[in-house]
Amino acid sequence: MLRAFAGAGAGLVLSACGGDDLDPFAAYRQPEASPDSGAAGQAQQTDQQQTLELAPVQQASQVIDIEPLPEPAVYIMPNPVAQGQTVLIVVVAPGADTASMWWQGQTFSLLHSEERFVGFFGIDANAGVGPQSLGVAVWGRRGEQLLWQETVIEIVGGDWTVDNIQIDGPNEALLDPAIRRADEAQRLPYQTGLTPQLHWLGVFDPPVDGAITALYGEQRSFNGGPIVEYHTGIDYGGETGTAVKAGNSGIVSWAGRTRRRGNGIIIDHGVGVFTGYYHLSEVLQTPGTVVEQGDLIARMGATGLATGPHLHWEVVVRGVTVNPLPWIRSLEFPDPYQALNPANALTSTNLARG
Ligand SMILES: [Zn+2]
């Protein structure tokens, strides 16, 4: 009786696994079972899978297509990766149905585009350095797992400068950490979603014609105090009213005002990539508007915590503010459609060679 009940329970779990990739890696994170129980568990699963798949096939008198699919090839670029960089994952898997990756306790679906699956994630400027585990899984159309690959990404330190900024007058009140937290909380929902499309093709444009006046990653203290934050984007200098353009195509996800950032606008470029534009004098687009690369979206200003007119420009990848520079440089751009060298793929053959 108990055995029958347990069997039915396992069957339910198995059928849920087919279409639900919320946590396909859960099994891999469980402590390793003994070889005996592992083999038994596997045999049981195989039984159920055959029962589930054979029943409808026998009714329809069809032949099961057992043509093996080519082994998926996984590309992780770059590796090693520096603090502040964006990591691009490309999985080349003809005939596969879904793919996802596991990173720091989170599972992300990868975007399916022709024979590739594509995903991005960001490394925080102050992320811990050293090896980090990354998992990639690929499934076929009948829910069969084609690949499970666990590999290591090496995070190396960025080379950040330390900057002490003097803030006085009415702006000094904006240094209150509670105001910073409230600002972040207000913008968070508009730059952390996952739109399952890629709205752009090709390198991003700088958002203004102007000189960069502050770099990403700079460790900041205010009025001689301790370091309290890092600079989450790059600043462009200019005059109030200077045209601010969309770095690339996307959909406006937020347009509004916060006390620290002043007037701002956020564009969702899809696949978890967002750009944010702040301290604006004017915002010229509204949420939900589709913008093309280079479209006028706002005008430069000095609203919020600003010592003068400038644009603060951010790139956010899966919720992490990353260095925007690689996104506007063709040689460093994380291009999901770049030509790939099979020798760099993570496959069982290449791993055996290494
Ligand atoms: Zn800034």
Domain match, 295 and 174 both? yes
Domain end, chosen from 19, 36, 60, is at 60
- The C-alpha R_g of the chain, in whole angstroms, comes to 24
- Contact residues for 231 (Cβ-Cβ < 8 A; gap 6+): 163, 214, 215, 216, 217, 218, 220
Centre of ligand 1 from the C-alpha of residue 218, in Å: 10
Domain match, 176 and 279 both? yes
- In angstroms, the CA 232 to CA 82 distance is 15
Length of the chain: 354
Helix axes 2-19, 35-60, angle to 10 degrees: 70
Centre of ligand 1 from the C-alpha of residue 216, in Å: 8
Domain match, 22 and 139 both? no
Domain match, 9 and 116 both? no
Centre of ligand 1 from the C-alpha of residue 213, in Å: 9
Centre of ligand 1 from the C-alpha of residue 354, in Å: 43
- In angstroms, the CA 180 to CA 202 distance is 33
- In angstroms, the CA 234 to CA 315 distance is 9
User: Does residue 26 belong to any structural domain of this protein?
Assistant: yes
Domain match, 179 and 282 both? yes
Outline where DSSP puts E strands in 281-351.
282-283, 290-291, 296-299, 310-317, 320-322
Question: Domain of 153?
Answer: 73-158+342-353
Burial class (CB in 10 A: 0-12, 13-18, 19+), 19: exposed
Centre of ligand 1 from the C-alpha of residue 279, in Å: 9
User: Does residue 335 belong to any structural domain of this protein?
Assistant: no
Centre of ligand 1 from the C-alpha of residue 59, in Å: 65
Q: Mind listing the pLDDT tens digit for each residue in 143-177?
A: 999 999 899 999 999 989 999 988 888 888 888 88
Domain match, 177 and 304 both? yes
Domain match, 94 and 182 both? no
Domain end, chosen from 34, 60, 86, is at 60
- pLDDT tens-digit profile, the chain (354 residues): 322 322 222 222 222 233 334 444 554 444 433 334 333 334 344 444 443 344 444 444 455 556 777 889 999 999 999 999 999 999 999 999 999 999 989 899 999 988 899 999 999 999 999 999 999 999 999 999 999 989 999 999 998 999 998 888 888 888 888 998 999 999 999 999 889 899 998 999 999 999 999 999 999 998 989 998 899 999 999 999 999 999 999 999 999 999 999 999 999 999 999 999 999 999 999 999 999 999 999 999 999 999 899 999 999 999 999 999 999 999 999 999 999 999 999 887 776 665
Q: Mind listing the pLDDT tens digit for each residue in 65-97?
A: 567 778 899 999 999 999 999 999 999 999 999
Centre of ligand 1 from the C-alpha of residue 88, in Å: 25
Contact 333, 315 (CB under 8 A): no
Domain match, 79 and 143 both? yes
Domain match, 92 and 206 both? no
Total tally of structural domains belonging to the chain: 3
User: Does residue 330 belong to any structural domain of this protein?
Assistant: no
Burial class (CB in 10 A: 0-12, 13-18, 19+), 325: middle
Helix (H) or strand (E) holding 183: helix 177-187
Domain match, 186 and 283 both? yes
Which residues line ion ligand 1, judged by CB < 5 Å? Answer: 235, 312
Look at the alpha carbons of 82, 83, 85, 90 in this order and tell me if their dihedral is positive or negative.
Answer: positive
User: Does residue 328 belong to any structural domain of this protein?
Assistant: no
User: Does residue 77 belong to any structural domain of this protein?
Assistant: yes
Kindly report whether the global pTM for this prediction surpasses the value 0.85.
no
Domain match, 112 and 177 both? no
Domain match, 279 and 262 both? yes
- In angstroms, the CA 233 to CA 191 distance is 14
Centre of ligand 1 from the C-alpha of residue 207, in Å: 13
User: Does residue 333 belong to any structural domain of this protein?
Assistant: no
Burial class (CB in 10 A: 0-12, 13-18, 19+), 297: buried
